[in-house]
Amino acid sequence: MLQLASGMGRLGTESAFEVLARAKALEAQGKSIISLSIGQPDFQTPGHIVEAAIKALKEGHHGYTPANGIPQVREAVAADLNKRHGVNVDPANVLIVPGGKVTMFFAILMFGEPGAEIVYPNPGFPIYESAIKFTGATPVPMPLLEKNGFGFKADDVLSLITPKTRLIIINSPANPTGGIVEKAEIDKLVAGLEKFPNVAIMSDEIYSEMLYDGKIHTSLLKYPQLADRLIMLDGWSKTYAMTGWRMGYSVWPKHLIEQATRLAINCHSCVNAAAQWAGVAALTGPKDEVAKMMKAFDERRRFVVGELNKLPGVSCINPYGAFYAFPNISGTGFKSKELEVKLLDEAGVASIAGTSFGAHGEGYIRISYANSIENIGEAMKRIGKWLDANR
């Protein structure tokens, strides 16, 4: 019998991919399924970005690149961050990675081991908990509650810190809730962290450009007092509709960037060369397509929240970021997972159980509104009809 490393038994998954596979299987059987499950824009990558990759391939960018990324893309990332957040990031601190996920895995690998504790959002992106468990560290959930708009309260986060805490993960705007954390609360958290100089922070800002109702993103990069212990995760996947390109970036403190680059060399050598040139074009080129996508997301957000609140037993607070709604379904009488399965099998709508994002997601489902208004409208009708008949 093969003996796998114990960490393999602790590795979780992202059930969005499982739901997607089941939805595809049902479609193959001839069933009509509307997907509100996967977290990816339903738009194509803007044309000038695609052209930049084609040009790079034609010009012969076929080989390995520096492990941390070509200088042009690291410079473009630093310039973009400095412009967006009014900060002063040095391209030398930027690491280009094959998707935002890689940053989180590297950060968790760097700090996680048996005996260490890592604080992470719950409900939150499932890979945080999975990777923490993989390293043998203890995952310490930071409950994100509906009554707080699914954001955290600084005092609650600080109260979770023990002498074993090595890393705190925060994520705003958040998956799966669309919740955001206001600047005042972040200010308070940063002030409180002064008492805990040995704790690192990973700030997942992958949805930093997806905000609504005039909300403003507060990047953790804005706090120079965190500069020697902050890992900031962002990337191209969501903003530029580039999930399949596998392009992400992170900013690391000077004393960690070398370690992070060493992980990259051990793991993937470098990111696809042509994709890096596409990344430069995305950051330095026109932004009108991004603005169009954001306008569409905003319209869908308003629509879906209105429709969800009309469903029997369902209520949904306003999400201010990302492209997810996280309706409370406790009034339907179903548990999250049960509702996810029944909606897919019986109503033809793919959603994701809140519990796929952690225990504190019970009583909720995640609806991704990265789909057309027509499809969202039809999905809401199907759910309403199904709830009327089965509640």
Question: By the criterion CB under 6 A, which residues form the site for ligand PLP?
Answer: 39, 99-101, 125, 171, 175, 204, 206, 235, 237, 243, 248
Closest approach of ligand PLP to the CB of residue 236, in Å: 7
Residue whose beta carbon is closest to ligand PLP: 99
User: Which residue, 348 or 358, is less far from ligand PLP as judged by CB?
Assistant: 358
**DSSP letter assigned to residue 161:** -
Sequence-ordered list of residues with C-beta below 8 angstroms from that of 261, at least 6 positions apart, any chain: 67, 68, 95
SS3 141: strand
* 282 closest CA partner among 228, 338, 240: 240
Instruction: Return d(Cα 129, Cα 131) in angstroms, integer.
Output: 6
What are the b/e assignments for 144-176, b being 16+ CB within 10 Å? Answer: bebeebbbbbbeebbebbeeebbbbbbbbbbbb
User: Which residue, 100 or 151, is less far from ligand PLP as judged by CB?
Assistant: 100
Closest approach of ligand PLP to the CB of residue 17, in Å: 10
User: Which residue, 39 or 139, is less far from ligand PLP as judged by CB?
Assistant: 39
* 128 closest CA partner among 174, 67, 193: 174
Closest approach of ligand PLP to the CB of residue 100, in Å: 3
User: Which residue, 210 or 344, is less far from ligand PLP as judged by CB?
Assistant: 210
Closest approach of ligand PLP to the CB of residue 315, in Å: 23
**Contact at 8 Å (CB) between 187 and 198?**
no
Closest approach of ligand PLP to the CB of residue 332, in Å: 26
User: Which residue, 125 or 150, is less far from ligand PLP as judged by CB?
Assistant: 125
* 283 closest CA partner among 56, 41, 52, 102: 52
User: Which residue, 243 or 371, is less far from ligand PLP as judged by CB?
Assistant: 243
* 225 closest CA partner among 261, 253, 204: 253
Closest approach of ligand PLP to the CB of residue 243, in Å: 5
User: Which residue, 40 or 375, is less far from ligand PLP as judged by CB?
Assistant: 40
Closest approach of ligand PLP to the CB of residue 39, in Å: 4
* 76 closest CA partner among 235, 262, 220: 235
Place of tokens 């965190």: 226
